[in-house]
Amino acid sequence: MKKVKHIRILGRRYRVLRQNLGENTYGDMNGVEGVIIINPRYKNRRDTLVHEVVHGILHESGLTKILDQHPGLEEALVTTLESGLCRSGLVKKVKA
Ligand SMILES: [Zn+2]
């Protein structure tokens, strides 16, 4: 199975890159540049990709601006959705 290199988030194409982001940083999403970065040093890359895609969905939908008014809420929401999606079996076949 091929690793995901691009992904469409609410109609916008995001590049998916693998880069070392340092310790304890699993991934990153830059909504301005349309880039998701996955840290290849960690094994849970699929979950990280799902996590960063959820951040991207919130960014593209404009909800990030509302969530920014409540510190910590976006991360809690994203982590919950990541966990639920990854355990649902829906994203089993994704290779990150
Ligand atoms: Zn996050």
For residue 24, report the distance from its CA to the centre of ligand 1, in Å: 12
| Residue-range domains of the chain with CATH | 6-88 (1.10.10.2910)
Rounded to the nearest angstrom, the distance between the alpha carbon of 76 and the centre of ligand 1 is 8
How close is the Cα of 28 to the center of ligand 1, in Å?
7
Q: Residues 44-77: pLDDT tens digits?
A: 999 999 999 999 999 999 999 999 999 999 999 9
> Tens of pLDDT along 4-13?
999 999 999 9
DSSP string for 23-73:
TT--EEEETTTTEEEE-TTSS-HHHHHHHHHHHHHHHHHTHHHHHTTSTTH
Q: The whole model's pTM is what?
A: 0.94
Side-by-side strand order, sheet with 35-38: 6-9, 12-18, 35-38, 27-30
| Other CB atoms within 10 Å distance of the CB of residue 47 | 21
**Tokens 């693998």 identify what position?**
18
Taking the centre of ligand 1 as the mean of its atom positions, its distance from the CA of residue 79, in whole angstroms, is 7
Give the separation between CA 72 and CA 18, rounded to whole angstroms.
Answer: 26
- Between the CA of 78 and the centroid of ligand 1 the distance, in Å, is 6
